[in-house]
A = this chain, B = another copy of it.
């Protein structure tokens, strides 16, 4: 069991400050891009003097890197439900649910990730070439197995994965567009549920799993 760790005043303050800075940075980087974001703006949003940011994160790049790593972790773990699933309906269905939830809960992080990749992944190229490549290979193998077992139509696992990523992330990255087309209002709980169902239905039927 986890002990109720006693945090010294210092450690507690450090923890909170880092969290506040990271949260502010995530939002500012998402809304302004790396180049458009300023340390001053992040500092103001975090309620700290700019010099204090540089005490916790030496450079703008270092802070940005931490923000990207954070969302990448969440992104990867979304596929936990993918494994050990008996078939595509459960596995891919749960994956869509998880990724749609991420899009709703972490829209800023999703945008930062999208922005990073769009600009050629200057700071996380190594992750793409190692962690993400392995991850993708593993899931593609699972999908291929389902195909071989006749649990779904023969589709290219890669392109199916791209479609899953694209569709689920779209609700975060292009959330503003969707909101505008929704009469300027964010999707309601019911509309989010409908979105999830639509995506799941079309894709699962599209791969011949239902």
A203 to chain B, nearest CB (A): 6
Find out whether the CB atom of A159 lies under 8 angstroms from the CB atom of B199.
yes
A34–B119 Cα distance when bound, in Å, is 11
Confirm or deny: A120 has a beta carbon within 8 angstroms of a beta carbon on chain B. yes
A121–B199 Cα distance when bound, in Å, is 25
A199 contacts across to B, CB distance below 8 A:
159, 163
Interface of A is mostly: helix
Q: Encode A88-101 as 1/0 by CB contact (under 8 A) with B.
A: 00000000000000
A31 contacts across to B, CB distance below 8 A:
119-120
A83–B129 Cα distance when bound, in Å, is 42
| Shortest Cβ distance from A37 into B: residue | B35
The number of times this chain is found in the oligomer is: 2
Find out whether the CB atom of B201 lies under 8 angstroms from the CB atom of A202.
no
Find out whether the CB atom of A176 lies under 8 angstroms from the CB atom of B120.
yes
| Shortest Cβ distance from A208 into B: residue | B205
A203 contacts across to B, CB distance below 8 A:
202, 206
| Shortest Cβ distance from A170 into B: residue | B166
Name which of A153, A180, A194 has the most chain B CB atoms within 10 A of its CB.
A180
List A residues at the B interface (Cβ < 8 Å). 30-37, 111, 114-115, 117-121, 125, 128-129, 132-133, 136, 153, 155-156, 158-160, 162-163, 165-167, 169-171, 173-174, 176-178, 180-181, 194-195, 198-199, 201-208
